[in-house]
Amino acid sequence: MEQNVVEPTVIEGRDIIVLYGSETGNAEDIALELSKMTRRLHFKTVCDEMDEVKLAELIKYRLAIFVTSTTGQGDLPRNTAKFWTNLRRTRLNNTNCLGALKFTIFGLGDSSYPNVNAAARKLRARLKQLGATEFFRPGEGDERHDNGIDSAYLPWSQELREHLVTDYPLPGNLQPIADDIPLPPKYHIEFETGNVFPTKSLSEPPTPSSDSLQPEPYPPTELLDIPNSLTALVNSNTRVTPTSHWQDVRHIELSVQAEKKDISLHKMLPFLAGATAVIYPKNFPQDVQTLTDMMGWDSLADRQFDRNRSTLPKKLYPLTTCQSALRDLLTHNFDITAVPKRSFLREMSHFATNENEKERLLEFTKPGNQQEFYDYTSRPRRTTLEVLRDFPSVKIPLRYALEMFPLIRGREFSICNGATSVPPTFKEDGKFKVELTAALVEYKTIIRKPREGLCSRYLKHLKAGTTIKISINPPTSPTLRPENMLVGPETNRQGRPLIAVATGTGIAPIRALINDRKAAGIKAPALLFFGCRNEKADFLFENEHSSSKQQSSRDEAVYWGDNVRVIPAFSRDENPTQVKPLLPPPGGVESETETEMTDRIPTDMLEIVEQGKNYVQHQIKKHGYEISRLLMGNVAPVICVCGNAGRMPERVRSAFEDVLVEYNLVSGKEDAKTWVNNSDKVVYWQEVW
């Protein structure tokens, strides 16, 4: 039974705006949670992405809360670009234009990046430069903490609430709206009278293959009218790892059709290094049916809704090629299999008719119970559908569903082909090819349940010949553009040397970069350290390498193209192929025995290798002499690090710092850190996920 809804009281001058910048949705989730908190304190609250608000509108508010993640090389998210550009206008300097604004800010960061929380810090500094003052201390979260962002966010948000209650008290006997009382919904859906569609027929199941356990109904192929998206035809979808390998890695080729109005795309092409393609997955029909059955929506699922009378979320794009029903929204727009956020469980509690279930749901959301919440949701990767099944008394009213279920967000994949595969005719007909290399998310949890990511499941069964919608996002940094890979006067342009480090599918943007450098005629030397588990299983794009045997059958010099020396690190092979390092000849003597060569490697650089470890950071240390020669050249090299987040980026960076110290380019570790951060010495670009 639905509880009575309480409307916040309108109080003159009591308003607040919550603005967010978000790439993956985490900052948006926090912003929405904070906006609900301020509504319960009877603030007239607006919550929106930064790009939707102009500065002239911002200064109308008494208070502002900013929430932003950091992306790329310390940049603000894409949906803050217009706002940030306006905020940085030179003519605003010394104007005190934000003097009436009071604000606070929370940043979402990841300490595996060197510029952790740089976006929030830059935004905070600029707001203060323009006269804004802080009404509450800033907060910063770290995704790498044991409890993730929550470790900093939960205490910060609780303190913020207490500060608002104390410093901005409610008049008279008015009290905050209790957490166990639902607020009025922001959206609603109105159905057409009498228009009921026949239940949507399920698409033909994919042809059974050796790596699919059983065929299952596939999502419908209708296309959403997503702004700035492109139509793409799937040419091929090939598994490139053996079926016996633990991970299913796909190489997907798409034929894309652009239009002349896609000006930004025309400016970017033919160079694709660092660019990403956004894939928009869909839910599977049986999951949608499960949800409608559990919630009691089956009688409404196939009724046409009136778009003009319905209020839908901004980023929800209904089908345009046919009339839409609730089932279409649940299939194409709402993420119903995600691991639920804490706010979802709190909203569920409002509609639990069983008191024990209600109490249990509220327990998960209380401050101090982060570990219990984590153990129930994130640790076993329990899905929204499974959580709803665990609390059968919860029946979400349809008018709240549009607000509670998160929208399906496009998943970004690094484009792995470059300029050499973009035909010259693109300028005329707008046709070009995009290649993706995607590792599918499939695993078993601690409770031994198999899991598949929404997009992984979608891609796994994406058949050749299917037409889909994609978006192309430019690189987060101009570092990889060919014009930035060349330095010096026009009459004597020199290419920057490249030191690339890739693990797993992190090879995708590196492959695109190698293609772009080749197309631009850059012949500067390049080293590629590529880490994977097994030489025979996931040495991606090995067929594009050429080998020249050295003295030992297990020592190979592997090249990608004419000038990219490949140094692999196979972490799980018992006797992995090793590339012999180039070492400085003692006394000018060019030839050494293998023992003498080993003796020339600094002891601490051999220590971990001798223990049997074989990761990219160990190979960086082992090949320190080659790296040092590139670092001390006349042209500052580019270092690119791509692959899994976590410990790898930090350890790779530390390995480069160790090389600087060991080969006497700097006097100590602190000087090495300064060197790596100095763009006059080296351009360091990192893209991890």
Q: How far is CA 85 from the centre of its chain?
A: 23
Q: How far apart are CA 311 and CA 353, in angstroms?
A: 28
Cβ atoms of 616 and 503 within 8 Å: the answer is yes
CB-based burial label for 369 (10 Å; 0-12, 13-18, 19+): middle
Cα first-last separation, the chain: 42
pLDDT of residue 585: 53
* CA-to-CA dists, residue 73 to 96, 479, 680, angstroms: 29, 10, 16
3-state helix, strand, coil in the chain (%, to 5): 35, 20, 45
Over residues 405-409, mean pLDDT: 94
Q: How far apart are CA 364 and CA 367, in angstroms?
A: 9
Over residues 21-39, mean pLDDT: 95
Structure tokens of 671?
């000087």
* CA-to-CA dists, residue 304 to 11, 203, 301, 336, angstroms: 39, 20, 9, 21
Q: How far apart are CA 596 and CA 184, in angstroms?
A: 76
How are strands ordered across the β-sheet holding 230-239? 411-414, 276-279, 467-473, 230-239, 249-257, 431-439
DSSP string computed for 177-235: PPTTSPPPPS-B--EEEEEEPPPPPPBPPPPP-TT-SS--PBPP---B--TT-EEEEEE
Instruction: Give 684 or 449, the one with higher predicted confidence.
Output: 684
In one-letter notation, the amino acid at residue 316 is L
* CA-to-CA dists, residue 141 to 67, 105, 125, 160, 396, angstroms: 11, 11, 18, 15, 31
Q: How far apart are CA 641 and CA 656, in angstroms?
A: 11
Structure tokens of 102?
């009071």
Q: DSSP letter at 75?
A: B
pLDDT of residue 216: 53
Total number of residues shown for the chain: 689
pLDDT at 109 over 90: yes
Between helix 342-349 and helix 26-40 the angle, nearest 10°, is 40
Q: How far apart are CA 211 and CA 246, in angstroms?
A: 11
Cβ atoms of 638 and 653 within 8 Å: the answer is no
pLDDT digits (tens, 9 = 90+) for 236-257: 999 999 999 999 999 999 999 9
Q: What are phi and psi of 192, to 5 degrees?
A: -70, 145
- In the numeric block, the tokens 């550009």 are attached to 85
pLDDT at 603 over 50: no
pLDDT of residue 194: 63
Mean pLDDT of the chain: 87
pLDDT digits (tens, 9 = 90+) for 639-657: 999 998 878 999 999 999 9
pLDDT at 554 over 60: no
Q: Which residues make Cβ contacts (< 8 Å) with residue 103, sequence separation at least 6?
A: 63, 64, 65, 66, 127, 132, 133, 134, 135
- In the numeric block, the tokens 């099944």 are attached to 389
SS3 assignment, position 255: strand
Pure H helices in 552-623: 594-600, 603-610, 616-622
Structure tokens of 94?
């010394």
Instruction: Give 535 or 115, the one with higher predicted confidence.
Output: 535
pLDDT of residue 218: 84
pLDDT digits (tens, 9 = 90+) for 309-344: 889 898 898 876 557 889 999 999 999 999 999 999
Containing 151, the helix (H) or strand (E) segment is: helix 150-167
Over residues 408-414, mean pLDDT: 95
pLDDT digits (tens, 9 = 90+) for 177-230: 998 899 999 998 888 876 555 545 444 444 444 444 443 588 888 899 899 899
